[in-house]
Chains A and B, each alone.
Chain A
Amino acid sequence: MHPSLQSFSPQRMSSSSIRFDNFLDRESSLGVLLMLPGLSILAVFLAYPFALGIWLSLTDTRIGMPGEYIGLWNYIDLLEDDIFHQTAWNTMIYALVTVPFKAILGLGLALVLNNHIRFSNPIRAFVMLPWIVPTALSSLGWFMIFDPVFSPISWLLIQMGLIESNINFLGDQVIAVTAICWVNIWRGIPFFGISILAGLQAVPHELHEQAAIDGANKYHRFMNVTFPHIKGIIMITSLLSIIWTFADFQLIYILTKGGPANQTHIFGTYAYQVGMSATEIGMGAAITLYMFPILAFFSILLLRYMRKSA
């Protein structure tokens, strides 16, 4: 026997093998083992970038240049930045104005889809399209629809004699903000619709029948039977939607790149402009981290609600 193999006696191999097998047999240790891949992915792709982002925001790092620790200077400096003020305001409008519209229109959609209609399954799949199609692709479609020179909407309204010149969809502050909110609502309605539809289908029929026997009309049945059952879903989808909308990027980057005159910048697009285009990556990180407390607040709210519901 080769000298190096002498240490691997059958006795020793079997005892180490037993120990390993026992390790795998214990639910607690196996659980940790099975969690490790997921945990590693979270650590590498979530925790590390997040920690790095916090560190960068405390430095004056520029792309390709080492930075120095400057404490909270980036955060303080942003408070004096007009564009940042506008960005924060735009983000609030974008996230908070769009969600009620998405919730109400999504509820309406769900109520319609909940009726027994012909081809209900293809119709349900069709209304999901805005949600399923990649945002970058659908935003490009809207970019063409809102084209300042060749917009089909402007063309149609001019042909109908309702307007004289093209609508400046993405070049006028009020219209541009309305346009991006409109696209966000269009994209978000199916998510609300399908989620609420799932809730509607779980409402027991008997309750409706009993309420009808007791003389409740459609409105009362909706308010007293249906709504209490779907209230939780509306709450959860609204909170999720606020979080996603706050952290949006693609839609606005494609439609306006934050213009005109920064009037459609939200945190994500402004951070990208400052961090990646203007190379001030420390400042860019600080802009995104201003989102963190707001997102954390809504996330905690969401988790607390879900735990309470459970």
Chain B
Amino acid sequence: MEKLNDNQPTSISEETSEKGMTRRQVIKTGATAGAIALVGGFPYISSAQNKTLTIVRGTHFIPEAQEIAKQQAEEFGKQAGVKVNADFLNWPDLQPKIGAALQAGGLDVVELWPIQNHLYANNLVDMTDEAEEVAARGGGYEEYILNSGHVGGRYLGIPHGTSAGTIAYRISAFKQAGVRNADNGALLDMTWDDYFAIAKETKKMGMPFGQALGHSSGDPIGFCYPYMWSSGALEVADDGKTVLFDTPTFEYAMNKFIQAWKDGYDETGTSWDDSSNNRAFLSGKICSTFNGSSIYYATKKKDDGGAMQADTHHMLMPKGTAGRYYEVGTNTMAILKNSQNIDVAKEYLKWWFQPENHYKWWSVQEGYQLHHVKNLSNDPTWNKDPKMSIFKEVPKFGRLRGFSGDPNEKAGLAASKYIIVDTFAKAVQSGDAKDALKWGQRQLERVYR
């Protein structure tokens, strides 16, 4: 084969581009540019950028509070000279986003739902000093914060309370159904039997009750866990292993719920999410549901001369044979250990929890967000509207997911798989409480083995 000399064109190099470069030159130039980009280009680009603090929180059902949280993040960014990205995610999307960040990075500050501080304990920055400083400044944490805010005696983030839910109802519909003292929800102290009897009446009037039983992390869990507890059943005993879910008392209570679902509820609730009941209530399709005060808050914004606001009230969750319960734990603002900006993130949280900043965000919610420190329990916010006073009572009846075991990763797993919610959905779909509870028991035993 003939040997090529330096200048001898080859079949490949003879083909030139429009700019007169040979293919060989194009390859060489491209390879050189690529090498420069790989070796020197990317570090240069990243070092030239400012630091970016990324905050991810759950979306706010009180839009004004979300706007304030966003503005405050921007304000901190200006003061600290960093770029701040604050995202507010759909509640069910929050946990997968945090999970992905724990594996791959990219987030600095995250809002954790109750017991997620236990779930991600190994991956969160210890903020005990900062959290205790917030508590000391506010006269100490409320009891529900003390019960749920720390993991093994350490605060892995700063607790900031939670959006409590209770029963919202239309006064006129309750009155029509013959409920005494319907004008004043604070005086309504019902059993589940009482409550379901009203549902039956209002459904006859064309205004049933509504309850979300779909795969959504707020209202379905907020209703199903307390109903289970109020009938004496438990996800797990205090040994953390024995599942006490499929009990005769719960089967009895579940049968009552199945009957009530047919007689008094909007039966499309099996596919409802956290916002479906808000929309149904505000459009007059249902007259009672378990929800945060966001429904009542939205009635104030309605352009109806205040009619729906005047007709809406709150009452405590009904009692079962084993008492009255709520699922209550605190949310926490935490920093991921794999954050590249831990110092900036700490500064941000210390800044945001300063009373003037935090109060601005908390007070605009007018009681939707339960307060975290005792000094706020006497805040004028609670006296502005008597219809909101019920929410202050909620923590008294609070339990955490996983009760009476520890609020650990197994409780998180059971909630993430919607086992208890799905038991309710199965029961009302099939009408077979026994079978649904057996399914739930089996699933919980798989989790707590």
* Chain A residues packing against B (C-beta within 8 Å): 14, 17-18, 21-22, 24-25, 30, 33, 62-65, 80-83, 147-150, 165-173, 176, 256-262, 272-281
Select which of B270, B285, B443 is within 8 A of A260 by beta carbon. B270
* One of B75-83, B91-99, B169-177, B304-312 at the interface: B91-99
Bound together, the chains give a CA A63 to CA B276 distance in angstroms of 31
CB pair A256 B416 closer than 8 Å: no
Bound together, the chains give a CA A64 to CA B417 distance in angstroms of 19
CB pair B271 A81 closer than 8 Å: no
Pick the most buried of B270, B271, B417: most chain A CB atoms within 10 A of its CB: B271
Bound together, the chains give a CA A63 to CA B102 distance in angstroms of 7
CB pair A83 B417 closer than 8 Å: yes
Bound together, the chains give a CA A25 to CA B27 distance in angstroms of 11
Tell yes or no: B425 within 8 A of A by CB. Answer: yes
**B contact residues around A171 at 8 Å (CB):** 213-214, 267-272
| With contact pairs A277-B99, A279-B119, A279-B409 given, residues A256 and B271 touching in the complex (Cβ less than 8 Å) | yes
6 A-B pairs with least C-beta separation: A171-B271, A171-B270, A148-B268, A278-B416, A276-B96, A259-B215
**B contact residues around A21 at 8 Å (CB):** 4, 10, 13, 24
Q: Nearest B residue to A275 by beta-carbon distance?
A: B99
Bound together, the chains give a CA A275 to CA B266 distance in angstroms of 33
Select which of A149, A176, A281 is within 8 A of B283 by beta carbon. A149
Tell yes or no: B144 within 8 A of A by CB. Answer: no
**A contact residues around B412 at 8 Å (CB):** 278-279
A100 smallest CB distance to B (angstroms): 27
A18 smallest CB distance to B (angstroms): 6
| With contact pairs A63-B102, A257-B92, A260-B425 given, residues A273 and B416 touching in the complex (Cβ less than 8 Å) | yes
**A contact residues around B269 at 8 Å (CB):** 148, 171
A132 smallest CB distance to B (angstroms): 25
**A contact residues around B270 at 8 Å (CB):** 168, 171-172, 259-261
What size tier do the contact residues of chain B reach?
A: 35 or more
**A contact residues around B122 at 8 Å (CB):** 64-65
**A contact residues around B442 at 8 Å (CB):** 82
Q: Nearest A residue to B208 by beta-carbon distance?
A: A165
28 CB < 8 A contacts A-B: A21-B10, A21-B13, A24-B24, A30-B12, A33-B27, A63-B102, A81-B446, A148-B269, A148-B271, A166-B268, A171-B214, A171-B267, A171-B271, A171-B272, A173-B429, A257-B92, A259-B418, A259-B422, A261-B426, A275-B99, A276-B95, A277-B92, A278-B413, A278-B416, A279-B99, A279-B119, A279-B409, A281-B99
B333 smallest CB distance to A (angstroms): 18
Tell yes or no: B384 within 8 A of A by CB. Answer: no
**B contact residues around A276 at 8 Å (CB):** 95-96, 99-100
Tell yes or no: B6 within 8 A of A by CB. Answer: yes
CB pair A18 B271 closer than 8 Å: no
- CB under 8 Å from chain A, chain B span 390-443: 409, 412-413, 416-418, 422, 425-426, 429, 439, 442-443
CB pair A279 B103 closer than 8 Å: no
**B contact residues around A22 at 8 Å (CB):** 4
- CB under 8 Å from chain A, chain B span 285-343: 285
Tell yes or no: B369 within 8 A of A by CB. Answer: no
CB pair A24 B280 closer than 8 Å: no
CB pair A149 B268 closer than 8 Å: yes
Bound together, the chains give a CA A256 to CA B422 distance in angstroms of 13
B59 smallest CB distance to A (angstroms): 16
CB pair A260 B283 closer than 8 Å: no
* Chain B residues packing against A (C-beta within 8 Å): 4, 6, 10, 12-13, 24, 27, 92, 95-96, 99-100, 102-103, 119-120, 122-123, 213-216, 266-272, 276, 279-280, 283, 285, 409, 412-413, 416-418, 422, 425-426, 429, 439, 442-443, 446
Chain A residues touching B, majority SS? loop
CB pair A24 B12 closer than 8 Å: yes
CB pair B267 A259 closer than 8 Å: no
Q: Nearest A residue to B337 by beta-carbon distance?
A: A64
Bound together, the chains give a CA A176 to CA B213 distance in angstroms of 14
**B contact residues around A256 at 8 Å (CB):** 214-215, 271
Select which of A149, A172, A258, A278 is within 8 A of B429 by beta carbon. A172
Q: Nearest B residue to A15 by beta-carbon distance?
A: B6
**A contact residues around B99 at 8 Å (CB):** 63-64, 275-277, 279, 281
B354 smallest CB distance to A (angstroms): 30
A279 smallest CB distance to B (angstroms): 6
Bound together, the chains give a CA A220 to CA B315 distance in angstroms of 73
Select which of B6, B95, B280 is within 8 A of A14 by beta carbon. B6
A151 smallest CB distance to B (angstroms): 9
**B contact residues around A150 at 8 Å (CB):** 279, 283
B120 smallest CB distance to A (angstroms): 6
CB pair B429 A272 closer than 8 Å: no
Bound together, the chains give a CA A170 to CA B214 distance in angstroms of 9
B318 smallest CB distance to A (angstroms): 24
**B contact residues around A14 at 8 Å (CB):** 6
B316 smallest CB distance to A (angstroms): 26
Bound together, the chains give a CA A116 to CA B409 distance in angstroms of 63
**B contact residues around A172 at 8 Å (CB):** 270, 429
Pick the most buried of A149, A165, A280: most chain B CB atoms within 10 A of its CB: A149
Q: Nearest A residue to B426 by beta-carbon distance?
A: A261
Bound together, the chains give a CA A63 to CA B13 distance in angstroms of 53
**A contact residues around B120 at 8 Å (CB):** 63-64, 279
CB pair B280 A149 closer than 8 Å: yes
A3 smallest CB distance to B (angstroms): 25
Select which of B24, B100, B417 is within 8 A of A273 by beta carbon. B417
**A contact residues around B267 at 8 Å (CB):** 165, 168, 171
**A contact residues around B446 at 8 Å (CB):** 80-81
**B contact residues around A165 at 8 Å (CB):** 267
**B contact residues around A259 at 8 Å (CB):** 214-215, 270-271, 418, 422, 425
**A contact residues around B103 at 8 Å (CB):** 63-64, 281
B190 smallest CB distance to A (angstroms): 25
